[in-house]
């Protein structure tokens, strides 16, 4: 069974701090790892990672994948109150009978205080 | 970017009612759509995978007759919760993707279902 574990589950920081969110996984026939941000509604897409060691960057957010050690990190620098959300890590694997599927971690609840 | 529209965003209805939720991909053709359920403070749980023109594949423990899924076109999938009961109250989210293996899923805004 595919498994995605995120840590920490909850994090409270002050504006301006830098945070690192962790995601480790076990999946059959790994295809890609995705990061999403979920506020009050459905998740919004942040990054899709398929290759090891190549950093993806978007503004203050960046992410990298290590396929040997089976983990990814999401960094947020100079955090703002608007970064407060649940950050979800998900992995796409291809099962023999189930086809391609997305397995989510529990998420990290990030709270940025002013 | 890819846009997925989900409707309605909130439904409140009596026990025993059937409720239909629509999921549309607005600017791309979705060969595959997924339906998830999310309980408060928990992550998304996949209910079923729907490929256009074929029967949905349900996850273990999800009742096919309870949660009817139709994916009749490349831009529309529907989830019907039949004879809904209070335990079916939840946040239902759909996602759509053109090519599952190498493109990210894009999510609708979700439907909050409350059964009285």
Predicted local distance difference test score (pLDDT) of residue A99:
65
Tens digit of each residue's pLDDT (9 = 90 or more) over B12-70: 999 999 999 999 999 888 888 999 999 888 889 999 998 888 889 999 899 999 999 99
> B34: closest CA among B18, B52, B19?
B52
State the smallest CA–CA distance between residue A104 and chain B in angstroms. Answer: 7
Out of A31, A36, A104, whose CB is closest to B102? A31
**CB B44 to CB A45 under 8 A?**
no
Is B3 in the A-facing interface, judged by CB distances under 8 Å?
no
Give the model confidence (pLDDT) of B67-106 as tens digits.
999 988 889 999 999 999 999 999 999 999 887 667 788 8
User: Which residues are CB-neighbours of B36 under 8 A, at least 6 positions away?
Assistant: B44, B45, B46, B47, B92, B93, B94, B95
For residue A105, list chain B residues with Cβ-Cβ distance below 8 A.
Answer: 43
Calculate mean pLDDT across residues A65-71.
95
> Cβ(A52)–Cβ(A62) under 8 Å?
no
- Residue B48, φ and ψ in degrees, nearest 5: -160, 155
């Amino acid at each position: 069974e595919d498994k995605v574990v995120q840590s920490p589950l909850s994090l409270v920081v002050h504006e301006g701090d830098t945070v690192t969110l962790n995601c480790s996984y076990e999946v059959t026939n790994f295809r890609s790892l995705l990061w999403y941000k979920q506020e009050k509604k459905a998740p919004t897409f942040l990054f899709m990672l398929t290759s090891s060691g190549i950093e993806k960057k978007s503004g203050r957010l960046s992410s990298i994948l290590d396929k040997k050690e089976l983990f990814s990190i999401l960094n947020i620098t100079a955090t703002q109150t608007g970064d407060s959300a649940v950050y979800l890590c998900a992995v796409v694997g291809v099962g023999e009978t189930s086809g391609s599927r997305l397995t989510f971690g529990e998420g990290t609840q990030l709270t940025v205080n002013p | 970017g890819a846009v997925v529209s989900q409707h309605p965003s909130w439904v409140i209805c009596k026990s025993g009612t059937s409720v239909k939720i629509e999921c549309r991909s607005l600017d791309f053709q979705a060969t595959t759509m997924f339906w998830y359920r999310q309980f408060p403070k928990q992550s998304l749980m996949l209910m079923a995978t729907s490929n256009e023109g074929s029967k949905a594949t349900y996850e273990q423990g999800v009742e096919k007759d309870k949660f009817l899924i139709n994916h009749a076109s490349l831009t529309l999938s529907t989830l019907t919760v039949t004879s809904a009961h209070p335990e079916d109250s939840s946040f239902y989210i759909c996602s759509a993707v053109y090519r599952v293996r190498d493109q990210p899923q894009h999510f609708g805004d979700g439907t909050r279902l409350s059964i009285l």
